[in-house]
Amino acid sequence: MTTKRTRTLTALSIAIAGAVSAGTATAAASPTTPESNDPAKVVVIGLDGTMLDHIKTANTPNLHRLMAEGTTGSSSILGHPTISGPSWSTMLTGVWNTKHGVQDNSFNGARFDQYPTAFTQIERADPALRTEAISTWGGIATIAGSGSPTADVVTTTPDAGSEGATDTATATAVANEIAGNGPDFVFTQLDQVDGAGHATGTLGPAYNLAIEAVDLEVGRIVAAVDERQRNTGERWTVLVTADHGHRPLGGHGGQTPAEASTFVIVRGGGYRAGGIDNGYTMADIAPTVLEILGVPRPANLDGTALAKDAPVPPPVAGGSTGAALPSWVPTGS
Ligand SMILES: [Zn+2]
């Protein structure tokens, strides 16, 4: 979704006192291997309208690395609107649209008071935790700025002239926040792949080229995570996900399998390298974030935290059949 561009900058209630408290200070002095009592942090990277099948076939070294180092799940949201507003709301609340009430990008009927976002739940559990939403599409700011309390930082990147340039500005802001402030939970959404899907569909070269461009932005964010983890001992989990797919000729909002396709990649936090999660649903993102941060999960969530014991497909001798090993899993040397 690309039309709304608002800039919201709420409550920089940054809880500086909390950030400078003992936990952070001692972690900074610890060596490079994270200890179990070092702070857990999580970044969720939302790739609007991006399909896993295309990530696998495009030149995406950064996303391929995350898949090799983490667990991947593909899923469908058939029965749920294949639209950004409802999908990001499902991910960020942990309940389906039948509960959170968002049916389209108007956000009319949203019930974030009844089904609060992960930002709200984290802030209620511990106001000293730093939560941020930094996105290209303004709808994310609507979600992250709803409820009470909201995320500590809610920004929509100003239009930089092209979707690619705006995504670069978004990713730069996220990388800078990770490097400088080490937020406990930062959510970001990048929009150019959805734009390419709308413009020319998924069959032509533009869609995969947009995925390759966004892969570079993912790489910059992950580099900031890895650098901070090395320097602080913080234990970071990276999640990558998408809100919907696209029809081959472009567009979404209907109930074809392509439009309803979604996925997750989760790296760090004890998730198995090369694992394949066959049970992932879109409603699992918020519960997973809450579990990582040790925040109690409300009983009324539809999703559950992602399983850490996802099976790892056995290697295929010679790679001749390709039956068991997905092509994107590195086969070694
Ligand atoms: Zn769209």
List, in order of start, the domains of the chain with CATH numbers. Answer: 38-306 (3.40.720.10)
The number of helices, as runs of H, and strands, as runs of E, in the chain is 13, 8
The pLDDT assigned to 37 comes to: 73
Reply yes or no on whether the pLDDT at 3 is more than 60.
no
Give the tokens for residue 82.
Answer: 């294949």
Instruction: Tell me the pLDDT of the chain averaged across its residues.
Output: 88
Residue 27 CA to residue 11 CA, distance in Å, equals 27
List Cα–Cα distances, 178 to 22, 33, 140, in angstroms.
19, 18, 19
Helical pair 285-293 and 84-93, crossing angle rounded to 10 deg: 30
CA-to-CA distance for 22 and 225, rounded, in angstroms? Answer: 21
What band does 306 get if pLDDT is binned at 50, 70 and 90?
very high
What is the rounded distance in angstroms from the CA atom of residue 90 to the CA atom of residue 112? 11
Q: What is the pLDDT of residue 161?
A: 97
Centre of ligand 1 from the C-alpha of residue 91, in Å: 17
The pLDDT, as a whole number, for residue 36 is: 66
Nearest to 143 by CA among 178, 119, 176: 119
Tell me which residue has tokens 């709304």: 4
Q: How far is the CA of 298 from the centre of ligand 1 (A)?
A: 31
Longest dimension (CA), the chain: 58
Smallest CA-to-CA distance from 206 within 225, 193, 216 is with: 193
User: How many Å apart are CA 61 and CA 229, to the nearest integer?
Assistant: 21
Tokens of 183: 């937020």
Q: How far is the CA of 65 from the centre of ligand 1 (A)?
A: 27
- Predicted confidence at residue 88, as pLDDT, reads 98
The model's pLDDT over 191-216, given as tens digits with 9 standing for 90+, comes to 999 999 999 999 999 999 999 999 99
Q: Tell me the pLDDT band of 318, cut-offs 50, 70 and 90.
A: low
* Cα of 83 from ligand 1 centre, angstroms: 7
What 3-state class would DSSP assign to 187?
strand
Indicate if the pLDDT at residue 320 is higher than 60: no
Structure confidence at residue 38 (pLDDT): 80
Does the pLDDT of residue 314 top 60, yes or no?
A: yes
pLDDT at 68 over 90: yes
* Residue 24: pLDDT band with limits 50, 70, 90: very low
Q: How far is the CA of 3 from the centre of ligand 1 (A)?
A: 9
pLDDT per residue as tens digits for the range 233-252: 999 999 999 999 999 999 99
What's the rounded mean pLDDT across residues 73-80? 97
Ligand 1 centre to CA of 252 (Å) is 6
Q: What spacing in Å lies between the alpha carbon of 2 and ligand 1's midpoint?
A: 7
pLDDT at 152: 98
Determine phi and psi for 40, rounding to 5 degrees: -90, 140
CA of 325 to the centre of ligand 1 (A): 32
Distance (angstroms) between ligand 1 centre and the Cα of 195 equals: 7
Distance CA 128, CA 178 (A): 16
Ligand 1 centroid from CA 56, angstroms: 21
251 alpha carbon – ligand 1 mean position (Å): 7
Percent of the chain residues topping a pLDDT of 90: 82
Alpha carbons within 13 A on the beta-carbon side of 119: 30
Distance 280 CA to ligand 1 centre (A): 22
CB atoms within 10 A of CB 82: 27
CA 194 / ligand 1 centre spacing (Å):
5
3-state secondary structure of 249: coil
CA 250–ligand 1 middle distance (angstroms): 9
Convert the pLDDT of each residue in 268-302 to its tens digit: 999 999 999 999 999 999 999 999 999 999 999 99
Q: Calculate how far, in angstroms, residue 216's C-alpha sits from the geometric centre of ligand 1.
A: 21
